[in-house]
Structure 1
Amino acid sequence: MTLTALSQFNDVKLEMAMRLDLDELPIIWMRDHDEGEVHDDEEDNRRFLAVLQRGEPFVMIAERAPSLPDFAKVDAEERRRRAKLLKDHRRDLARLCRGMILVGRAANLPMPIRKGIEAISSAAGIALLFADSEPAARDLARARLADR
């Protein structure tokens, strides 16, 4: 990847165009949209804020690590909204979120993506973890929730 590509990449706020799945709360899954699914990001934001307002610990799991094409799916306005959400609720995230788990091998993640995700998790005060499979991620999430 060239320096120009890295510079352009750094302007992207590393948001994944994924939907929230709260069926296993306090484990929050971030899942790919189903083919043809009409998705309401605002509804996901409202649902996520409701989780924060509960004041109870949770863990977030992304069913896969992001890729560069994922970033093209999120327009600049949506990135600004998500960055504001993160900034406005940083303290709650740091206090309540016991970790962000990516399903996949850390070694397979391109370095610019990994560094960007690490920067966001650090800024939010959230531990970044990796698991090789969904069952392993679920076990790790349960362990993180039981630790505190």
Structure 2
Amino acid sequence: MSDQDNKQGLQAIRFRRPYSAEDFQITASELLVRKEAYPLRKMKQVALKQLGYKDHAIRAFCLALVLSAATWAFVPVFGIFVFLGCLPLALMTAKKYELRAEFRSSDDSGDQWVPLVRCRTEEEYEQLKLLHAALVIKLSN
């Protein structure tokens, strides 16, 4: 079995399709990522971030807390088991790289950082680097 076959099998187990260059398109007015559209006029800046252990731990804890809250409310005995079960699931779905954009607020809530794309592999990260560079150029105009 080749290395490419192993990678495809691993992606099928993770229930995800890796990002490719065809998944990203920058038009005159918006950024298209697969089926999502983000307006460029509302973006202030973009950032490409490599997520660390602290980011993963915070995400896992918050996700487990939110998912187990209903169990604690209605069946408190099982709340801790749901919480402990959600922690490894959240860590298994963690991504290594993230492209995020700061969007201008339309109300008084302030500007918000929104993750646009999260990925795991170096190949996807290279695509994000190219997208990030293109977006920085587009937003500076």
Q: Which TM class, normalised by the smaller chain length?
A: under 0.3
* Superposition TM-score, scaled by structure 2 size: 0.23
Structure (1/2) with the larger strand percentage: 2
* Superposition TM-score, scaled by structure 1 size: 0.22
